Amino acid sequence: MAGFVSIHNLRKSFGAFEALRGISLDIAEGEVVCIIGPSGSGKSTLIRCINRLEDFAPESQISVAGIPVTTGRSLAAVRAEVGMVFQSFNLFPHLTVRRNVMLAPMRVRGVSTAEAAERADKLLTRVGISEQADKYPGTLSGGQQQRVAIARALAMEPKVMLFDEPTSALDPEMVGEVLDVMKSLAHTGVTMIVVTHEMGFARQVADRVIFMDAGEVVEIGAPAEIFANPQHDRTRHFLSAVLNH
């Protein structure tokens, strides 16, 4: 039984260095999964393989909603279904906030300008920044920019959302507003895969937590189990380091 997001024997090397050492993972539709682990453990690399921002070994297999993540047409289909939010926002600085959100639906899905604008305004309202629609991203705070980035990804109506440390570049007072948007998103049935250092968020929102270390999945479980009763030394060690800070 393959998952909605299915990862089989995922291997990835940067030159001689093995960043991912054969990861297999099935994620159900609508599931919220948080990935935690020390720096350099391969968390970003793992989720970047799901929409093939990183190439991976030919023997590895990933599929999303039954579509294999390969190249060409099939990859375009996957990318249309998978939204991504980056640590550094990566908004398009030459476009207004509204245009940032409108671009992909118009170009990829062929949505009309009027409809794209209407959809963008709805999404911007949903993430709480409708008043900023005509501004340029550079004039917004970090927290506002990240919420625009979430709206931009949602505009494609993705079935899966990938988040790579979405709050790590934010000032502490702005972390909450972004996490709130993500929490409300978690209840909408979209599948979410979230790399995060926010243990509170993982505990509260995740269906499952994945602990990674040195390119491997060390432990998977419900947040209550992982946080209260980790099975592996490496998990215990990591958690005690981050939680006692």
Partner 1 sequence: MDIFQTFFNIDVLVRTFPLLMQGLWVTVQLGLCAIIAGLALGLGLALVRIYGARPVRLIARIYIDVFRSIPLLVLLIIVYYALPFVGIRLSAFLSALSALTMVSAAYTAEIFRAGIEAIPKGQFEASGALGLSYRHMMVDVILPQAIKIVIPPLTNNSINVIKDTALASVVAMPDLLKQATQAQALAANPSPLIGAAIIYVAFLWPLVAWVSRLERRFGGGTR
Residues in contact with ligand ATP by CB under 6 A are 14, 17, 19, 37, 39-45
b/e code 188-225 from CB counts within 10 Å (16+ = b): eebbbbbbbebbebbeebbebbbbbbebbbbbebebee
User: C-beta of 47: minimal distance to Mg ion in Å?
Assistant: 9
Counting contacts by CB under 8 A, is residue 88 touching partner 1? Answer: yes
Binder among 20, 91, 160, 190 for partner 1 (CB under 8 A): 91
Determine the Cα–Cα distance for residues 6 and 172; give it in Å rounded to an integer. 34
Counting contacts by CB under 8 A, is residue 14 touching partner 1? Answer: no
Residue 89 or 102: which CB sits closer to ligand ATP? 89
Q: Collapsing DSSP states into helix, strand and coil, what is residue 145? A: helix
Counting contacts by CB under 8 A, is residue 166 touching partner 1? Answer: no
- Which residue's C-beta sits nearest to Mg ion? 44
Phi-psi region of 153 (alpha: psi -120 to 50; beta: other; left: phi over 0): alpha
Residue 103 or 214: which CB sits closer to partner 1? 103
Quick one: what does residue 94 bind among partner 1, Mg ion, ligand ATP, none, with the CB cut-off 5 to 8 Å set by partner type? Answer: partner 1
**77 CB-contact burial (10 Å; exposed 0-12 / middle 13-18 / buried 19+):** middle
Counting contacts by CB under 8 A, is residue 51 touching partner 1? Answer: yes
